[in-house]
Structure 1
Amino acid sequence: MAREWSELSHCTRKKVGAIIVKNNMIISDGFNGTPSGFDNNCEDENGETNWYVLHAEANAILKVAKSTNSCNEATLYLTLSPCKECAKLIHQSGIRRLVYLKGYKDSTGLDFLKKAGVIIDQIKEEDFEKK
């Protein structure tokens, strides 16, 4: 389902989706993109990502923060493993498990989450395609 959400992104370089599940219910979702009220242009004229673009997991966590729900003990499903900045948000939000599809170029975020005790699982692309 995170994969479906990634397709909603207007970013051209990377399309990332996130789903947060707690007690077998989806409590939030997100995809990478610009903040509310901004044009949906993720990249500048040179093709570089604009600094203010929010990552999918940050969008999903922020949606929970604005609601009556909590991420505590939840599972986060991502199409791309988190960067180090988002890893801090994941840990501080109380998410206890991360399931991701593809690895981000920098594994520092995953290393941080492992050290923090977050359970991490990667779904292999070929296994995902069989289902």
Structure 2
Amino acid sequence: MTRFPAAPTINGYARWLTRSGGSPVTTPSSPKTPRPCWDDYFMQIAELVARRTTCLRRSVGAVLVKNRRILATGYNGAPGGLAHCADVGCVRQQRGVPSGERHELCRGLHAEQNAIIQAAFHGVSIDGSTLYVTCHPCSVCAKMIINAGIREVVIHGEYADEMAAELLREAGVAVRRVAPRL
């Protein structure tokens, strides 16, 4: 029976793998694969979450983070158990409603709303957390962000809702824009 040594540390992983018959690997701190900063890491996760959208108009993803730990994620789409817009069509699109207007006609929830709801559903406090979202929140989401106790919103997209920006500013919620990097 072959006995393997105790699990190695990250720094000793390549040496351990080579000694135990494996081939050397590139470690995460290697210049060939630079580690992303935390903002890039969480924003890339938000971009991946956005790919789950069922909305025909926009793909938006949101990630709630506290102390560098993911608390909840959300993407825009119809509530659970309801038909997706991808299946039944978009009412706002059918009526020619411009983007950013008449949100009450949409059968879907926004990514920020879904992330906040998921945290609440699972009993996870998001007070003092940071929200990474692929575009600037609308005014409805901004009000939810404020009341949920989210202290910072990190975005990389633009959005024309000046009221949302003003509400967040007035409530002392920091908004930072980061350039998307892949």
Deviations 1:6-41 (A, max 9, x none): 111011211100000012110000000000110111
Larger radius of gyration: 2
Higher relative contact order (CA 8 A, sep 6+): 1
TM-score normalised by length of structure 2 = 0.65
In structure 2, distance between residues paired with 1:98 and 1:59: 15
Gaps of 5+ in 2: 1-44, 98-102
Of the three residues 81, 99, 115, the one matched with 2:170 is: 115
- Aligned-residue identity in percent: 35
In structure 2, distance between residues paired with 1:76 and 1:41: 25
Q: Which residue of 2 aligns with 1:64?
A: 119
Instruction: Find out whether 1:6 has 2:50 as its counterpart.
Output: yes
In structure 2, distance between residues paired with 1:107 and 1:100: 15
Task: Provide the aligned length of Structure 1 versus Structure 2.
Answer: 127
Higher strand content, 1 or 2: 1
Q: Aligned runs of 1:20-35 on 2, under 5 Å?
A: 20-35=64-79
SS in 1 for 2:72: strand
Gaps of 5+ in 1: none
Letter in 2 for 1:40: H
CA contact (8 A) 2:56 2:85 kept: no
TM-score normalised by length of structure 1 = 0.89
Letter in 2 for 1:93: A
Q: Which residue of 2 aligns with 1:100?
A: 155
CA RMSD in angstroms comes to 1.7
Q: Which runs of 4+ in 1 moved over 2 A?
A: 47-52
